[in-house]
Amino acid sequence: MLRRRLNRLFGGDERRVDSRTIYVAHRPCPDTEAFIPPKFCDNRIVSSKYTVWNFLPKNLFEQFRRIANFYFLIIFLVQVIVDTPTSPVTSGLPLFFVITVTAIKQGYEDWLRHKADNEVNKYLVTVLEDGRRIRTESEKIKVGDVVEVEEDETFPCDLILLKSSRDDDTCFVTTASLDGESNHKTHYTVPDTEKDLECLNATIECEQPQPDLYKFVGRMHIYRNSREPTVRSLGPENLLLKGATLKNTQKICGVALYTGMETKMALNYQGKSQKRSAVEKSINAFLLVYLCILVSKALVCTTLKYVWQNKPGQDEPWYNQKTQREKDTNLYLKMFTDFLSFMVLFNFIIPVSMYVTVEMQKFLGSFFITWDSDFFDPEIKEGALVNTSDLNEELGQVEYVFTDKTGTLTQNNMEFIECCIDGFQYKYRDANSELGGFCVTDGPVSKLQQKAGREREELFLRALCLCHTVQVKESPDPIQPLGDGQTDQVDGLGVDGAVHQLQELRGFIASSPDEVALVKGAMRYGFTFLGLESKTMKIQNRNNDVEMYDLLHVLNFDPVRRRMSVIVRSKSGDTLLFCKGADSSIFPRVRQDEIERIRQNVERNATEGYRTLCVAYKQLSEEEYARADAGLKEARLALQDREERLMAVYNQVETGMTLIGATAVEDRLQEEAAETMEALQGAGMKVWVLTGDKMETAKSTCYACRLFQRNTELLELTVRTLEDGGQKRKKRMHELLLEYHKKAVQDAPPIKAGVTRSWSTSNQDYGFIIDGATLSMVLNSAHDANSSLYKSLFLQICQNCTAVLCCRMAPLQKAQIVKMVKNSKGCPITLSIGDGANDVSMILEAHVGIGIKGKEGRQAVRNSDYALPKLKHLKKLLLAHGHLYYVRIAHLVQYFFYKNLCFILPQFLYQFFCGYSQQPLYDAAYLTMYNICFTSMPILAYSLLEQHICMEVLLEDSTLYRGIAKNAMLRWRPFLYWTLLGVFHGFLFFFGVKYLFGNPALQDNGQVFGNWLYGTIVFTVLVFTVTLKLALDTRHWTWINHFVIWGSLAFYVFFSFFWGGIIWPFLRQQRLYFVFANMLSSVSAWLVIILLILLSLLPDILIVVFRKPRGPHKRQKKLVESSVGGLQSPRSSARPLLMRTFSDESNTVI
Active site residues: 404
How many other CB atoms are found less than 10 A from the CB of residue 576? 21
Pairing relation of β-strands 866-868 and 848-852? parallel
Whole-angstrom distance, CA of residue 955 vs CA of residue 877:
10
Instruction: Single out the residue of 683, 691, 849, 684 nearest to residue 769, CA to CA.
Output: 691
The number of angstroms, rounded, from the C-alpha of 20 to the middle of its chain's C-alpha atoms is 35
Q: Supply the DSSP symbol for 656.
A: S
300-308 contacts: CB < 8 A, separation 24 or more? 301/342, 301/908, 301/911, 301/916, 302/335, 302/338, 302/339, 302/342, 302/916, 304/911, 304/912, 304/916, 305/338, 305/915, 305/916, 306/335, 308/915, 308/916
How many other CB atoms are found less than 10 A from the CB of residue 666? 18
Q: Which helix (H) or strand (E) holds 868?
A: strand 866-868
Q: Which helix (H) or strand (E) holds 944?
A: helix 936-945
Whole-angstrom distance, CA of residue 626 vs CA of residue 634:
12
Q: In this structure, what are the phi and psi dihedrals at residue 1112, rounded to the nearest 5 degrees?
A: -65, -30
> What is the longest distance spanned by two Cα atoms in the chain?
125
Whole-angstrom distance, CA of residue 1145 vs CA of residue 1148:
9
The angle at the Cα of 511, spanning 456 to 497, to the nearest 5 degrees, equals 50
The angle at the Cα of 412, spanning 406 to 417, to the nearest 5 degrees, equals 105
Q: Which helix (H) or strand (E) holds 22?
A: strand 19-23
The full 3-state SS of 45-83, as one line of letters, equals CCCCCCCCCCHHHHHHHHHCCCHHHHHHHHHHHHHHHCC
Helix, strand, coil tally for the chain in percent (to 5): 45, 20, 35
Whole-angstrom distance, CA of residue 1020 vs CA of residue 1052:
9
- Residue 89 CB-density burial (10 A; 0-12 exposed, 13-18 middle, 19+ buried): middle
Whole-angstrom distance, CA of residue 931 vs CA of residue 1023:
10
C-alpha torsion sign, points 344, 345, 350, 354:
positive
Amino acid at 543: N
Q: Supply the DSSP symbol for 476.
A: S
Contact 587, 595 (CB under 8 A): yes
